[in-house]
């Protein structure tokens, strides 16, 4: 199955590429290495949720936020690759940033939302190394942010 077919089977659509809120680019390639900028759970540039895990945001909501964040990363990657996500050879590293109220320590469960989606969409190529950490605050009050390092052809 192509990535496009997998997206369809999962009922997922790549969003419009998020416009950077500052002076940087959504994706930067050198040789086969591609770095995707940090993304938050935005739709059309607007956050769909605000708050912290362990306070306003449940683990389930955080997982949905992680999915939306990584989908925004994939949209940026697809735009960089002329729409062809089959050119992704491997996701090498996902860093998952979770805005965490004091005492919230289940960052892995939240970021798993992003990890599962990557493998669902990209198959074997979506398997990645990962770090999940708990932040004091994230841009705009986002509960989650995700960035990626990938290998592409």
Residue 8 C-alpha from the chain's centroid: 18
User: Counting contacts by CB under 8 A, is residue 48 touching a copy of itself?
Assistant: no
User: Counting contacts by CB under 8 A, is residue 20 touching a copy of itself?
Assistant: yes
- Element at 119 (helix H, strand E): helix 107-122
Cβ contact 80:148 at 8 Å: no
Q: Residue 120, Cβ neighbours under 10 Å: how many?
A: 15
- Give me the least distance between CB of 7 and a copy of itself, in Å please: 18
Tokens of 85: 């996500």
- Give me the least distance between CB of 51 and a copy of itself, in Å please: 11
Q: Among 56, 84, 86, 119, which residue interacts with a copy of itself (rule: CB under 8 A)? A: 119
User: Counting contacts by CB under 8 A, is residue 128 touching a copy of itself?
Assistant: yes
User: Counting contacts by CB under 8 A, is residue 149 touching a copy of itself?
Assistant: yes
User: Counting contacts by CB under 8 A, is residue 33 touching a copy of itself?
Assistant: yes
User: Counting contacts by CB under 8 A, is residue 35 touching a copy of itself?
Assistant: yes
SS (H, E, C) 24-82: CCCEEEECCEEEEEEECCEECCEECCCCCECCCECHHHHHHHHHHHHHHHHHHHHHHCC
Strands 33-39 and 144-152: antiparallel
Q: Among 18, 72, 112, 122, which residue interacts with a copy of itself (rule: CB under 8 A)? A: 112
The smaller minimum CB distance to a copy of itself, of residues 6 and 93, is found at 93
Contacting a copy of itself within 59-88 (CB under 8 A): none
CA distance 64 to 9: 18
Positions touching a copy of itself (CB under 8 A) are 20-28, 30-33, 35-38, 54, 89-95, 97, 99-100, 102-109, 111-112, 115-116, 119, 127-142, 145, 147, 149, 151
């Amino acid at each position: 199955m192509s990535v496009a077919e997998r997206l369809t089977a999962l009922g997922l659509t790549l969003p419009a590429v998020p416009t950077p809120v500052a002076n940087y680019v959504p994706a930067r390639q050198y040789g086969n290495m591609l770095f995707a900028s940090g993304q938050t759970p935005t739709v059309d540039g607007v956050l769909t949720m605000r708050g912290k895990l362990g306070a306003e945001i449940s683990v389930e909501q955080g997982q949905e936020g992680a999915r939306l964040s990584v989908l925004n990363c994939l949209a940026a990657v697809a735009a960089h690759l002329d729409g062809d996500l089959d050119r992704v050879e491997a996701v090498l590293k996902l860093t998952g940033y979770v805005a965490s109220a004091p005492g919230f320590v289940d960052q892995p469960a939240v970021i798993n939302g992003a990890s599962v989606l990557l493998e669902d969409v990209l198959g074997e190529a979506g398997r990645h190394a990962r770090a999940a950490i708990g932040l004091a605050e994230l841009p705009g009050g986002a509960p989650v942010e995700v960035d990626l390092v990938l290998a592409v052809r």
